[in-house]
A and B are shown apart, each in its own frame.
Chain A
Amino acid sequence: MLRRDILRGARDGVPIGLGYFAVAFSLGITARHAGLTAFQGFLASFLNHASAGEYALFSLIAERAAYWEVAVVIFITNARYLLMSAALSQRFSPETPLLHRPLIGFGITDEIFGLGIAQKGWLSPPYLYSAFLVAALCWSSGTATGIAAGNVLPARAVSALSVAIYGMFLAIIIPPARENRVVAALVPVSFACSFAFSVLPLLSGLSAGMRTILLTVGISALAAALFPVADAKGGGAA
């Protein structure tokens, strides 16, 4: 049972890991611009394993932002994990030792959360641990490789790879936009406001991280006030 869950987790982790490697490689290019070494990139990726959060982290390091700004931006970009964590808390068997809760929590990503929610019955910690380890090692080594090899690639290849992360973001936000009219409206509204903030005087002088915080809190709060969700479950669920 235990061995079967571990093998099953590793198998399900492989396709996730392959996708992670490619995206993390492009993230590594951002990290290299911020001056990180391959080891630092590996460490940051293993500990954070969040595309949007790490992208924000590396951008903030590049602009030598204040430490508190990093804490706030990481909180905002990873806020969706609060919801996933809350959702997973309902899936624990009463007999599962408490120690598994922080360990499973540490491994939450959009995709690992998706695997967990897709399981029938109670969560199997060994299954999620092995899926997470396979995926996270691909993610971390992808970042390290991007930092180490980003400069041997021709500029055109780097340019192409640098949009991978945005492609991944689109793949997360567009499918729910198809299901939900409010989300469908929020995506172009967010695009437009973000563009406006990047060119308007005064606002464009703020750091990218601050602009992200202001826009996210403002637009989301407005949407929540105008269009409360009847049964808000998954958030950024896979």
Chain B
Amino acid sequence: MNVYVYILIAAVVSFLIRVLPLTLIRRQITNRFLRSFLYYVPYVTLAVMTFPAIVTAAQYPAAGVAALLVGVVLAWLGAGLFPVAVSCCASVFLAELLLSAL
């Protein structure tokens, strides 16, 4: 198992995904099921990767839960990628500071 082979495989697959539709498909996909499936995929896959991983990423699970709540609320209120990401980090930092002091 070579790290460069992993990187190369990922790069080639990413490249093909991004380039093929743009270069080949000139018409819109008409199959309704396929369109709906592709529409839902990004949300489901990102949600699956976020939880429970966000809870176990921090040193204290409670800090991870705090980050999740802060992130959901701020994103709901319309904050962008950067503010949400930074606020999640800050809430873990503060929560762990608090928890380790107890």
Contact = CB atoms under 8 A, between A and B. Distances in A.
A205 interface: no
A105 B14 contact: no
Interface residues of B, number: 76
Contacts, number: 309
Nearest to A178: B76
A168 interface: yes
A171 B79 contact: yes
A-side interface size class? 35 or more
A154 B79 CA distance: 28
A174 B74 CA distance: 9
A111 to B, nearest CB: 7
A26 B86 CA distance: 11
A76 interface: yes
B9 A70 contact: yes
Given A160-B93, A198-B52, A229 B39 contact: yes
A56 B24 CA distance: 27
A24 to B, nearest CB: 11
Interface in B20-75: 20-23, 25-26, 28-29, 32-54, 57-59, 63-64, 67-68, 71-72, 74-75
A168 B81 contact: yes
Given A78-B17, A194-B51, A172 B46 contact: yes
A159 B85 contact: no
A223 B48 CA distance: 15
A62 to B, nearest CB: 10
A192 to B, nearest CB: 8
B17 A167 contact: no
Interface string A1-45: 000000000000001001100110010000000011000100110
